[in-house]
A = this chain, B = another copy of it.
């Protein structure tokens, strides 16, 4: 459970989307040796995993693990069930309603698995691309949730305990707008053509342009004054 080299180790949750890709680029830039972690969780957006693998390779992650996790047995979400992904929702709707694309306790779960990996690779830092502004109604993207999880990590593991160290949940995007995230990533050389954001891609893997996730992404590129390199079906 010790670091393999002199650089600090970090676990980076990587979906292959815009936010997590930017997070990986930031962790790299901060000098961490990065261990990317993705999930195959019975979701429809498996196109993401191809993006995640490409991104991990091109951004030079030390390792990339894809963990199988069949959440269909739990159910309760359009990403894991056969429910319809909502399209063309207004910003007011996104802000006021938790969408059916909500995966129950997702960030708690993903952070738990990242925590397990952090113990194994000897990392004290876990990067997650949550965002409190464009958060699309998910409760587990808020700063107070992240603080609470750090406490769970401190009390629930052996990480750093001997040296008085503790796990840091790094959320470099939490206060940024989507436009700011994109600009940050571009300044670090990220090719957003590699990333995938859509909740409901077509059979060729093209983004729909209409789900909450696509809408937030497109708005971000528009506000940044940059063209999204991704191809949309509509």
Q: Which residues from chain A sit less than 8 Å from chain B, CB to CB?
A: 1, 65-71, 73-76, 98, 102-109, 111-113, 115-120, 139-140, 142, 144-145, 148-149, 151-158, 161
Q: Is the CB–CB distance between B112 and A108 below 8 Å? A: yes
Q: Is the CB–CB distance between A67 and B70 below 8 Å? A: yes
Q: Is the CB–CB distance between A117 and B74 below 8 Å? A: yes
Closest CB of chain B to A131's CB: distance in Å? 15
Known: A69-B69, A151-B148. A76 touches B156 (CB 8 A): no
Q: Is the CB–CB distance between B76 and A67 below 8 Å? A: no
The 10 closest A-B pairs by CB, nearest first: A104-B116, A76-B120, A140-B156, A104-B119, A105-B116, A109-B112, A105-B115, A145-B155, A108-B112, A148-B151
6 A-B residue pairs with Cβ-Cβ distance under 8 Å, sorted by A, are A66-B73, A67-B70, A104-B118, A109-B112, A109-B115, A148-B155
Q: Is the CB–CB distance between B76 and A1 below 8 Å? A: yes
Expressed in whole angstroms, the Cα–Cα distance for A175 and B157 within the complex equals 20
Known: A140-B157, A152-B108. A116 touches B71 (CB 8 A): yes
Q: Is the CB–CB distance between B152 and A148 below 8 Å? A: yes
Q: Is the CB–CB distance between A105 and B76 below 8 Å? A: no
Expressed in whole angstroms, the Cα–Cα distance for A148 and B73 within the complex equals 27
Known: A1-B76, A70-B68. A142 touches B155 (CB 8 A): yes
Closest CB of chain B to A193's CB: distance in Å? 28
Q: Is the CB–CB distance between A115 and B108 below 8 Å? A: yes
Q: Is the CB–CB distance between A152 and B155 below 8 Å? A: no
| Chain B contacts for A115, CB-based, 8 A | 104-105, 108-109
Interface-centre pick from A65, A108, A144, A145 (highest chain B CB count, 10 A): A108
| Chain B contacts for A119, CB-based, 8 A | 76, 104-105
